[in-house]
Homo-oligomer: A and B are copies of this chain.
Amino acid sequence: MPRARTEVHPPFAVTVDLVVLTVRDGRLHVLLVERGAEPFAGRLALPGGFVHPDEDLADAAYRELREETGLGGAGQAHVHLEQLRSYGAPQRDPRMRTVSVAYLCLAPDLPAPVAGSDARAAHWVDLATIGQGGGLAFDHAEILADGLERARAKLEYTSLGTAFCPAEFTVAHLREVYEAVWGVPIDPRNFHRKATKTAGLLVPTGRYAAGTPGRPAQLYRRGEVGSIDPPMTRAGG
């Protein structure tokens, strides 16, 4: 907190950066934009932008999500957004002293192509094709790594895995989400029992998926609970 109004306080630019994750074709993807201007022109970066003068941090994150990706608008599909952490190394932006508040966003795989009102296009990038660092602009590789770690951890003890699923989904769909995020195979039978017996995680709709080989799977909606107790276990539940 400021000590007294007479004390000098240097000006900072404050931005939000978004780690937007989804699962497509059984693999984890992150939403990236190609930078048009220097520095790091032509490099991939996390979507984000400046916080407005009278805007709350979370509001800025939602606005950037809408503007740059088309996600999260009113009447749109459910997306989860939470603050990740802040990054403020003195030289993280060569132009000015900047503090970035990063947000983590988990979204279902959307049939509509992701495109913002912004001229720059946002693309889903398969995380398997990005190495350590991956040539991302600024300190975005570190932010992305922190976001991945957070997402992997939260799938253990919260219901956030369902945030990657559409409004109605099968247990197998949810299992594929876990396999994609954790990068490990999971026994379908034990996962089925765990998911369906965890109170409040899934709400059965009574409807069944069709058109796939094998016995039709029941469709579920997201439950209301936030935390899973006992948690999902990462070593092949």
Contacts and interface: CB of A to CB of B under 8 A. Distances in A.
A24 B188 CA distance: 49
A112 to B, nearest CB: 24
A1 B5 CA distance: 29
A76 to B, nearest CB: 23
A52 B3 CA distance: 13
Contacts of A57: 86-89, 99
A50 B8 CA distance: 9
Interface string A35-56: 1110000000110111111111
A54 B91 CA distance: 8
A5 B98 CA distance: 13
A101 B37 CA distance: 29
Number of copies: 2
Interface stretch (A13-21, A163-171, A208-216): A13-21
A138 interface: yes
Contact of A2 (B9, B49, B85, B90): B49
Given A88-B51, A138-B1, A12 B10 contact: no
A145 B11 CA distance: 28
A99 B97 contact: no
A154 to B, nearest CB: 12
Interface residues of A, number: 47
A13 B15 CA distance: 13
Given A2-B93, A101-B86, A12 B15 contact: no
A95 interface: yes
B95 A1 contact: no
Interface string A47-74: 0111111111100000000000000000
A218 interface: no
Q: Which 6 A-B pairs have the closest CB atoms?
A: A11-B11, A57-B88, A10-B53, A9-B13, A12-B14, A86-B86
11 contacts: A2-B93, A3-B49, A3-B50, A9-B13, A10-B53, A55-B90, A56-B88, A57-B86, A57-B87, A86-B86, A88-B101
